[in-house]
Amino acid sequence: MASIPPPPPPPISAAFKPHMLFDNKEDLKNVCAHVEYDEAYFLKEIRKRVAFLRTRLDNAVEGLPFYSHYAPVAPILQDGPQCGLIAVAMAMHQLEIRPNVTVDEIFSRAKELGFTNNGEMYSVRDMVSLVRDLGAEAKMSSNMKDSMELFCEHLKQGGAILVPYDSDRNHEPCCKCGHKAHWAIVTGFLLVPKEYSVEEGNSQSLIDTCNTAQDKQDGQLPYLQDEELPYLHHYRNTYYKMVAQCGRNISKVPYQDADTSDNDAAVVSDTNKTNTMGDNLNTTKHALKISDCNPRAKHSEEQSKHKSFNVNYEDFQVYVYARQGKSQHLALWKYDALAESNSQLVELGPDRELDDNTYILSEGSVKEGLCNKFVKLNG
């Protein structure tokens, strides 16, 4: 008698398919819409990106410190050529200016103002006007290659930056003369020392500048050491802001193991969240080595205390945290690569010229509208 084959395994829940590739964008968008974007999620993203970057560095000796400045924003996925409008929507949410505004509302307003037909935004000036119309402070800046210090200082003070660039197949910056023009929002940066001595045990140019003797005496260092990745240090101001935005107590944030895979989706199930965020907090690792506190009450105090220290950015390799509308993943790119891509946007791609859509080039060309320009935003 023939043996009966065992039954197939039960299907994986749609809410928990870690590292799965979705069949279409709608499935991915639906899952992204139901992910709980709290500080534990954002910390996991940061750790994942930083740990992956570390594996690619030639000078990643033991103890090489990484200094992270990051303001969180949840991803929004685009539908059609809406990358600029997606970046605007994320900026409105991140800066808490219009936290409930939708991409459709922004698209309708951009069309009313004559800036777009299909969602495209080929003018930095129009982006500035649109952002101002939505209630944010914005201005156009240029020459990103020579503006690294001003760029980072703007982020350090809590602003956001929208940058047009050429997007490669993996969404990283590339140089294709504007044929793959795309928009990203930059909400933070990462500093990695160019030179580091194991004997010295730290990056003197930054530690000596910002972690002063008075700060050490007060126990209020501008940077907080990550407990799981001891080489990673979070800038206190932006960290407290992240926790305040998420509305939860920093001392009760458990750590979820980060991985370095880069597949199209990594989603935590509701069941797994319940187990890690529930009653077992006393057995989980806290996010950072700091005492219990009320971050929402402490944020303004900490921000005023540590807002003025200086960093010599030339001593560091600078990376930027970015999001763009074709992936739910947080990106970490070299600043120089993004600046180089931004500086060579000169013409419309052949695929755009041949399709049936009509695109608005309000300044006459891609070069005049986008090349070597970006948008700075404040709340």
All residues at 6 or more sequence positions from 213 whose CB lies less than 8 Å from its CB, including other chains: none
Lowest mean per-residue pLDDT among 3-7, 147-151, 205-209, 238-242: 205-209
Lowest mean per-residue pLDDT among 53-62, 152-161, 305-314: 305-314
Within its chain, how far is the Cα of 254 from the centroid? 21
Listed by start position, the domains of the chain span: 36-256+276-378
At 146-173, the pLDDT tens digits run 999 999 999 999 999 999 999 999 999 9
Helix axes 124-133, 83-94, angle to 10 degrees: 40
pLDDT of residue 262: 39
All residues at 6 or more sequence positions from 104 whose CB lies less than 8 Å from its CB, including other chains: none
The runs of H, that is alpha helices, within 113-261 are 124-133, 148-156, 204-210, 213-218, 236-246
Q: Is there a contact between 121 and 285 (Cβ–Cβ < 8 Å)?
A: no
Prediction pTM value: 0.74
All residues at 6 or more sequence positions from 197 whose CB lies less than 8 Å from its CB, including other chains: none
Enter the tokens of residue 245: 């935005």
Q: Is there a contact between 120 and 107 (Cβ–Cβ < 8 Å)?
A: no
Strand partners, 321: 188, 332
At 129-146, the pLDDT tens digits run 999 999 999 999 999 999
The runs of H, that is alpha helices, within the chain are 25-33, 39-56, 83-94, 103-112, 124-133, 148-156, 204-210, 213-218, 236-246, 270-277, 295-305, 335-342, 350-354, 366-370
Residue 300 has pLDDT above 60, yes or no: no
Enter the tokens of residue 339: 């600046």
Enter the tokens of residue 98: 């219009």
Q: Of these residues, 32, 83, 174, 246, which one is catalytic?
A: 83
pLDDT of residue 61: 74
Mean pLDDT (the chain, rounded): 74
Q: How confident is the model at residue 15 (pLDDT cuts 50, 70, 90)?
A: very low
Q: Give dist(CA 165, CA 333) in Å, integer.
A: 12
pLDDT of residue 343: 98
Lowest mean per-residue pLDDT among 15-19, 28-32, 304-308: 15-19
At 209-226, the pLDDT tens digits run 454 444 554 556 688 888
Active site residue 83: yes
Amino acid at 322: A
Q: How confident is the model at residue 242 (pLDDT cuts 50, 70, 90)?
A: low
